[in-house]
Structure 1
Amino acid sequence: MSENPSKQSVDQIEADITAARVRLAGTVDELHTRTAPQEIARRQVESLRTKLTAATHTESGDLRAERIAAVAAAAVALLGLAVARRRHR
């Protein structure tokens, strides 16, 4: 059976409060770490690397040359458009 809260000892109540403070401090520290700009940037870079690897490699780890060539061609085309647009101004 659980004890009636009014019958708990002062020491037990203080121990419960201390434990709650420790848990709360841990939660606050974790939230602070997760929301730090450096941590957010690190997670975004890691996500980008994972997506890039998935897009440019097969499941066995082989390079997908056709996808890399397509991306390179698209980049060259965009660069060409940007240069042409700049010259036109």
Structure 2
Amino acid sequence: MAGGWSKDGDVQQQIDDSVRDELERARRALPRGESAHHCHECGESIPEARRQAVPGVRLCIDCQALLDKRRGPGAGHNRRGSKDSQLR
């Protein structure tokens, strides 16, 4: 049930759009092309199993883990508007 100025289904549409945006962001971040034989950060050899498992990989496991930690999780909130503003 929607309230205020929103129509029925608007909140769910907003959630669906946010999920779709996050999936698209994740897909764009996936590596593509031929995998590197050596890490672009530290120069260590990338194991064959990793190169086959992750097509287009450019970093060794340790450097990828550091990069992922620095990036952190996604925004974690809906950028289309706050839930409170949609339900008023």
TM-score (norm 2): 0.33
Q: Which has the higher helix share?
A: 1
Higher relative contact order (CA 8 A, sep 6+): 2
TM-score (norm 1): 0.32
